[in-house]
Amino acid sequence: MRTKLHLPKDRVDYARQLARRITQPVADFIDGHSSVTVERASLRLAGADGANADGVPVPNLVLDQIRAADPALLEEGATLRYVNALLKTGDEVPALNAKIAAGLDLMSLPLGDRGAIEDRARALAEAAAAKVKANRLHRDRKLEEFRDRNNKPLLYLIVATGNIYEDVKQAKAAAKQGADVIAVIRTTAQSLLDYVPFGATTEGFGGTYATQENFRIMRAALDEVAEQEKRYILLTNYASGLCMPEIAAMGALERLDMMLNDSMYGILFRDINMFRTFVDQKFSRMINAHAGIIINTGEDNYLTTSDAFEKAYTVLASQFLNEEFGFRAGLPPKLLGLGHAFEMDPTIKNGFLYELAQAQMAREIFPEHPLKYMPPTKFMSGDVFKGFAMNAMFNFVSKATNQGIHLLGMLTEAVHTPFMMDRYLAVENAKYVMNNMEDFYDDVEFRKDGLIVRRAHEVLSQTISFMEEVESIGMFDAIERGLFAEVKRPKDGGKGFEGLIKKGPGYFNPFEERLASELGLAGK
């Protein structure tokens, strides 16, 4: 790639080294721990599914039973007890799920021969890996069959009705209008639920529950449109909140293509305990990596709480950290959809040039990554006409800097959840702008001593200073002191802390083993 910004390579390399050093103590902590949702995700990969009459999912029932018998037993991992029950009852997975949902207590069954349990568990891990690989293969084949039919960048639209069947209508229309990616936004409370609801759902607030059945319904609908449009439609959901790895597991099984997955979002913006989040993000990202799912990181959120011009360096720092946490979980650059956003105050003089600098800087520092670019939201006012113009500027920057994933801005942002016609207008806007400047990226360079180049150098340098400070304080303390996003999160505070599990000497998780070996992480 020809550089337009002439960023010093040694400084960029140094920032990556800082990211490596900053995340090392976190990685050491992660290695010694699991969590209730990591265990439940493993059970889901084994096939645990369904719910009891009160709607408590089978994976939660298993964890609750183990904890009730003796919380220390969780240190061995939950898979052991689930697979033991398979052997003791002689059931296959669906029959055992039904029994657990009907009230069978796994802890009433004596623990059998460990070797036999491990063999059976590894066979289940093998089967799960095969299923996920088949999904991956199917996606690759379709992408090949419909190659060059998607927009560049990929046009990404959100549906959020609360009712999965209504979402399907809107998603199909959005795909017909030209969207490449459909995200089903989640109901506003879901990130704080320590379980994943079961079955198809028709009630949600500001979004639709992420359930495995809902994933299946939307996947089938988008596959249908893809055949008509001869364009693969990527499906996105949120591996975030208290159930990151479980939702990642469901996404892997139901062939989602992208998942929101940020290493620190839950800590900073949902007040989830930091240790819990770090443990959860690792396993969820391993699952994403194996499934070939592109993650979308959440740097845009930094800019909704802080000023996008002054705090631009926090975005780049977070991108470096998300990248490093991603590498540590086996995600290659092409699956790292690092985020950023067009959120500068529209009254700033030359704001457009600064946005261009930021986006081009991300492009050059992360050349193989499918960067996820987010539209203006904070300064969308309800003046839909001005909003439409702002979205056009955003579309311009995205195309001018060759972004990978382009979340379309809605002219009615801050007014209501998008109308069907709002999405249409957003696609029309993007197609007009992007077609008009198809070769702009290859054709235009920036003045070496100009505003854009100088701004990018300045932000990189601020980023390095910031990361040096984080390194000297230490990641956990830095979060506690409010260095990120201006929010302070105590180490033992936040939601989900009680769900953290210390791995005991007898800890057994064949899914983690399998993923680590598939991803080349074993022994690291």
Partner 1 sequence: MNVIRPYGDTMDDGKVQLSFTLPAPDGARGREAARKLVLSLGFKDCEVVHSAPLSAEFSFYVVYGKTETSVDFDAVVADEASADASMGMDEVNEFIRRELGRKVTVVGACTGFDAHTVGIDAIMNMKGYNHHYGLERYPEIEAYNLGAQVPNEKLIDYAVKVNADAILVSQVVTQKDTHIHNMTEFIELLEAKGLRGRFICVAGGPRIGNKLAVELGFDVGFGRGTYADDVATFIVKKLAERKGA
| Catalytic annotation, residues | 265, 300, 372
Give CA–CA dist 260/262, Å, rounded. Answer: 7
For partner 1, the closer CB: 136 or 270: 270
Q: Is 305 in the site for partner 1 (CB under 8 A)?
A: yes
CB of 306 to partner 1, least distance (A): 7
For partner 1, the closer CB: 15 or 181: 181
Residues between 472 and 491 that touch partner 1 (CB under 8 A): 486-487
For partner 1, the closer CB: 191 or 318: 191
The stretch among 169-177, 285-293, 335-343, 394-402 that binds partner 1 (CB under 8 A) is 169-177
Angle value at C-alpha 50, between 44 and 51, nearest 5 degrees:
120
CA distances from 413 to 204, 205, 269, 380, 418 (A): 19, 17, 20, 6, 7
For partner 1, the closer CB: 203 or 492: 203
CA 406 to centroid of chain Cα atoms: 15
Among 419, 440, 441, 497, binds partner 1 (CB under 8 A): 419
CB of 486 to partner 1, least distance (A): 8
Which three-class secondary structure state does DSSP give residue 296? strand
Give CA–CA dist 104/59, Å, rounded. Answer: 13
Q: Which two tokens stand for residue 308?
A: 């996008």
Q: Which two tokens stand for residue 330?
A: 């086996």
CB of 487 to partner 1, least distance (A): 8
Q: What do you get for the CA distance between the two ends of the chain, in Å? A: 31
Among 173, 392, 437, 473, binds partner 1 (CB under 8 A): 173
* β-pair type (33-35, 500-502): antiparallel
Q: Comparing C-alpha atoms, which of 215, 325, 301 is closest to residue 259?
A: 215
The answer to whether 302 and 314 are in contact (CB under 8 A) is yes
The answer to whether 268 and 309 are in contact (CB under 8 A) is no
The answer to whether 341 and 352 are in contact (CB under 8 A) is no
Q: Which two tokens stand for residue 30?
A: 């992660």
Q: Is 206 in the site for partner 1 (CB under 8 A)?
A: yes
Residues between 493 and 522 that touch partner 1 (CB under 8 A): none
Q: Is 421 in the site for partner 1 (CB under 8 A)?
A: yes
Beta strand segments in 36-84, E: none
The stretch among 121-129, 172-180, 350-358, 399-407 that binds partner 1 (CB under 8 A) is 172-180
For partner 1, the closer CB: 38 or 157: 157
For partner 1, the closer CB: 88 or 481: 481
CB of 26 to partner 1, least distance (A): 24
User: Per-residue string for binding with partner 1, 89-108, x by CB under 8 A?
Assistant: --------------------
For partner 1, the closer CB: 326 or 376: 376
Among 205, 436, 469, 506, binds partner 1 (CB under 8 A): 205
- Site size with partner 1, rule: CB under 8 A: 31
CB of 251 to partner 1, least distance (A): 21
Cβ-proximal residues to 221 (8 Å cutoff; 6+ apart), any chain: 168, 171, 172
For partner 1, the closer CB: 62 or 308: 308
CB of 199 to partner 1, least distance (A): 20
Q: What are phi and psi of 95, to 5 degrees?
A: -65, -40
Q: What is the total residue count of the chain? A: 524
The stretch among 5-13, 101-109, 252-260, 416-424 that binds partner 1 (CB under 8 A) is 416-424
Q: What are phi and psi of 235, to 5 degrees?
A: -110, 135
Handedness of CA 110, 115, 118, 120 (dihedral sign): negative
The stretch among 54-62, 410-418, 440-448, 475-483 that binds partner 1 (CB under 8 A) is 410-418
For partner 1, the closer CB: 20 or 176: 176
CA distances from 218 to 47, 161, 283 (A): 21, 13, 25
Among 102, 123, 137, 420, binds partner 1 (CB under 8 A): 420
Using CA atoms of 219, 222, 227, 232 in order, give the dihedral in degrees to the nearest 10.
Answer: -90
Among 271, 468, 480, 518, binds partner 1 (CB under 8 A): 271
Residues between 182 and 201 that touch partner 1 (CB under 8 A): 188-189, 191-192
Q: What are phi and psi of 228, to 5 degrees?
A: -70, -40
Residues between 364 and 393 that touch partner 1 (CB under 8 A): 378-379, 382
Q: Which amino acid is at 91?
A: D
Q: Is 176 in the site for partner 1 (CB under 8 A)?
A: yes
Among 146, 309, 424, 476, binds partner 1 (CB under 8 A): 424
Which three-class secondary structure state does DSSP give residue 105? coil
CB of 407 to partner 1, least distance (A): 17
Helix (H), strand (E) at residue 84:
helix 79-89
Angle value at C-alpha 327, between 326 and 333, nearest 5 degrees:
85
List residues near partner 1 by CB under 8 A: 162, 172-173, 176-177, 188-189, 191-192, 205-206, 269-271, 304-307, 345, 378-379, 382, 414-415, 417, 419-421, 424, 486-487
